[in-house]
Amino acid sequence: MKDSVKNVAFIFGTRPEAIKVAPVIRAMQDRSDMRPIVISTGQHRDMLQSAMTEFDLKADADLDIMKPGQGLDQITARIITGLGAPLRDFGIDAVVVHGDTASTFAGALGAFYNRVPLIHLEAGLRSGHISSPFPEEANRKLVCQISDLHLAPTVVSADNLLHDGVDPDRIRVTGNTVVDAVRWAAAQPVPQHQDDPLAFLEGPDSRPIIIATVHRRESWGAPMREIAQALVDIARTHDVRIVMPLHLNPVVREAILPIVSGEDNIYPIEPLPYRQFCRLMIKAHLIVSDSSGAEEEGPSLGKPTLVLRDVTERPEAITAGAAVLIGRTRQAVRTKVSALLTDQILYDGMTRASGVYGDGQATARVLEALSDLFTGVISNAIPGVDFGAMPGRPQLAQTQPAA
């Protein structure tokens, strides 16, 4: 007979997902009523493994889905077909997916097809444009339709879910777990190695540090080259150091490196372990990025953040004045960065750390919501599945629950 501990699968495949689910997995490991089962899709193999090592996470199952030249359709299909066995073998009682990646969507659909209750972490984000970002906006809207529990990071996200017709009883506002991750990482010692990629930042050099990252699919091609050219303009006209942790995707590197290489004060570097990236953000004067993580982390650390996008599903920091949406043209990037470097009043107005994404206690709220789901405090959306049953796997009830 199965024990009373609920097996909760966390399905993810990218570095940002790993960072944001890590606090929940680590906290769940200390509980007696739930057991985390980590299922890695391997969507971003090297960068994912770095984050998992950083948070001491190990995969219980690795789908290892990536092959050269795959499209989104093939990635999605391989994840779905690979999920059936681990969901059955581990006796999974619920699946948690995070955000809006291909792993998120395919993991959610795999759970739905196997009739395993689904929890969507970081639910309710909406840009309002189905193709921007692509495919993330579509992914998160589709996951919403089949989720049993929607864990919204902010009230704005919860309102989006209500607008989409989600039952309010299935929504919990938790805060964003990235704040929990940032606080944990900032408190950890960073191992010092001879090959420390940030060694060049030590010493008497007091020039302001600008972090610049760009990787989104909608930035590929001409927009990415314009961003790189703007950074060169800034490097040549301002006494700054621009640090560029480069995504491993060859499309990104082929667009960026030919333009920025050779500039004395632009430093393209390999992706950083998360603790070192947090260390870099703390040292930074400002952040220029199209990364959703940086869009949340920067304001949470009180760092002015310029968002290299035309629309965003994270309006909270922009409304609070901690971030600005600047687009991706050479002129706009150059103008907005220069303004922050020369206008102290403007800069100071953006440096107040914003708590719009949470107070560092999101993990506790996530676990409370999961417990409420399992004990029947929150009803389950899958018809006939009774979470309030006696210990064991949720069973199909004989009658449908009352509406």
Catalytic residues: 100, 122, 136, 215, 217, 247
Cα separation, 41 vs 48, in Å, equals 10
Cα separation, 391 vs 388, in Å, equals 9
Cα separation, 11 vs 13, in Å, equals 7
Q: Phi then psi for 98, rounded to 5 degrees?
A: -125, 130
- Neighbouring CB atoms inside 10 A of 266's CB total 23
Cα separation, 371 vs 129, in Å, equals 34
Compute CA 239 distance to the chain's CA centroid, rounded to the nearest angstrom: 32
Cα separation, 322 vs 378, in Å, equals 35
DSSP 120: E
**How far are the Cα atoms of 78, 116, 379, 386, 391 from residue 375, in angstroms, in the given order?**
33, 16, 9, 9, 10
Helices 330-342 and 222-237 sit at what angle, rounded to 10 degrees?
30
